[in-house]
Copies of this chain bind each other. A is one copy, B any other.
């Protein structure tokens, strides 16, 4: 009977250990799922007008005391400020494929990243990059690598990839008119399937638009 009692005790102990192990496994799985959970955000425009000076200043000099901006715009949470925040999160690389880029605020954010040592590559459309208000000349002047198509068809993408990890894409051209007046959407995506497909597309275009391949006639 002593052995029977010991066997039953052993069985109970084994059950306890198994339950504890199962609980620990579930807790670990939940933690891993939370950590691995990709960012998924949708921004809709038009965006309320807002001041992004504080965002840019904080990105330029992290921790510096905030100087209030004299402009009358609020600096609240808007679609534009969210977009700028996502861009400014870049630490290593920013790959841009933008059909029409004339918004000075977004150009300043890109320049700031370039100055901070982020590797910025920019692909744009040859027919739109020379239009009045285009920021492409200014970005080139600042030393940012720019490539463009030589086709009659448009390079109509409007996407950005932050650190080869986060895709920002949608209907929005980077123009003040689009940001302030149009109905537009931007998706922020970290799911690897989407990011990889767009990164591959970027590399294809970057190579195809290599100036060594331009033809002059």
Q: Show the binding face of A for B, using Cβ within 8 Å.
A: 1, 3-4, 6-8, 10-11, 14-15, 18, 40, 42, 44, 46, 97, 99, 149, 151-159, 169-172, 177-178, 180-185, 187, 191, 193-194, 197-198, 201, 205
Contacts and interface: CB of A to CB of B under 8 A. Distances in A.
A185 B201 contact: yes
Nearest to A192: B40
Contacts of A154: 178, 181-183
B181 A153 contact: yes
A183 B171 contact: no
Contact of A171 (B18, B46, B156, B182): B156
Contact of A184 (B1, B4, B157, B178): B157
Nearest to A151: B181
Contacts of A11: 7, 10-11, 14
12 contacts: A4-B4, A4-B6, A7-B8, A40-B191, A42-B197, A44-B201, A99-B171, A152-B181, A153-B180, A154-B178, A154-B183, A156-B183
Give the residue among A3, A11, A42, A177 with the most B Cβ atoms within 10 A: A42
A177 to B, nearest CB: 8
A185 B171 contact: no
Given A46-B153, A156-B171, 19 more contacts: A3-B4, A4-B6, A7-B11, A14-B15, A18-B18, A40-B191, A153-B181, A153-B183, A154-B182, A155-B183, A156-B182, A156-B183, A157-B171, A169-B185, A169-B187, A170-B170, A185-B198, A187-B194, A191-B191
Contact of A40 (B6, B97, B194): B194
Top 6 closest pairs, chain A to chain B, by CB: A153-B181, A3-B4, A42-B197, A7-B7, A11-B11, A156-B182
